[in-house]
Amino acid sequence: MQAFTKLDAKIAPLPLANIDTDQIIPKQFLKTVEREGLSKGLFYDFRFDEEGKVKPDFILNRPEYKGVGVLVAGDNFGCGSSREHAPWALMDFGISCVISSSFADIFYNNCFQNGLLPVVLAPDQVQTLMEEAKGGNHMVTIDLESQSVISPSGQKFTFQIDPQRKEKMLKGLDAIGETLQALQHLFLPLRVDLEGELLARRRDHALALKIDGDH
């Protein structure tokens, strides 16, 4: 998992509440366990009509929002089923951070396991970002270390995050990475002991050769 420290990116507003995971990534795109390529299904029913044609008015289809890295959305984002494909699809699209006034618990947890930063701000702060993101080509800064969001106009909003989750995001540790790190710490003393033993044997061997040479 890639570490998340600081992000300067274009922001897009999605002023809809209760966006569920089926809207984020519909079920027909869940047949794969690969993360790459899921961006084509992101918000599919919002982005495309029944014939598969692009809906030009949808926010993420507009040229001024091309390359968006931060999404600011309505309340209760990510409700519904527990599919991990939802954060995968967002990240494959290029979105590294979602801001909302609240998230569904399972989606919120899945974000941290996959390197997508969910930021909870007060409703009025979310609304401010929504307004400032209108028109496209507006940049925000997300600083995880200082737990702050700098809006396009320069306003600073701070957010709360669990210290352990913050540390894992800063280091890029998912569940697998955390396990590998724990194993490394577990076996490090053994490695040190083995290296010390090997060094001692080399010294003893060198000393023995020297003594034989002197005789």
Whether the pLDDT of residue 123 is over 70: the answer is yes
Whether the pLDDT of residue 169 is over 80: the answer is yes
pLDDT tens per residue across span 179-209 = 444 445 554 455 556 566 666 676 765 555 5
Name every residue whose Cβ is closer than 8 Å to that of residue 77 and which is 6 or more positions away in sequence: 19, 98, 100, 102, 103, 104, 107, 118
pLDDT tens per residue across span 4-30 = 999 999 999 999 999 999 999 999 998
| Of 138, 164, 140, residue with least CA distance to 151 | 140
Q: Does residue 47 contact residue 58 with C-beta atoms inside 8 Å?
A: yes
- Give the pTM: 0.82
CA–CA dist 78, 21 (Å, integer): 5
pLDDT band at 150 (very low <50, low <70, confident <90, very high): very high
CA–CA dist 176, 54 (Å, integer): 38
Name every residue whose Cβ is closer than 8 Å to that of residue 99 and which is 6 or more positions away in sequence: 70, 71, 72, 73, 118, 119, 120, 121, 126, 129, 149
pLDDT band at 120 (very low <50, low <70, confident <90, very high): very high
Least confident of 57-61, 126-130, 169-173, 209-213: 209-213
Give me the mean pLDDT over the 154-177 stretch.
Answer: 89
Q: What is the pLDDT of residue 183?
A: 47
Whether the pLDDT of residue 60 is over 60: the answer is yes
- The per-residue pLDDT of the chain, averaged, comes to 88
Query: How is residue 52 written in tokens?
Result: 């598969």
CA–CA dist 193, 195 (Å, integer): 6
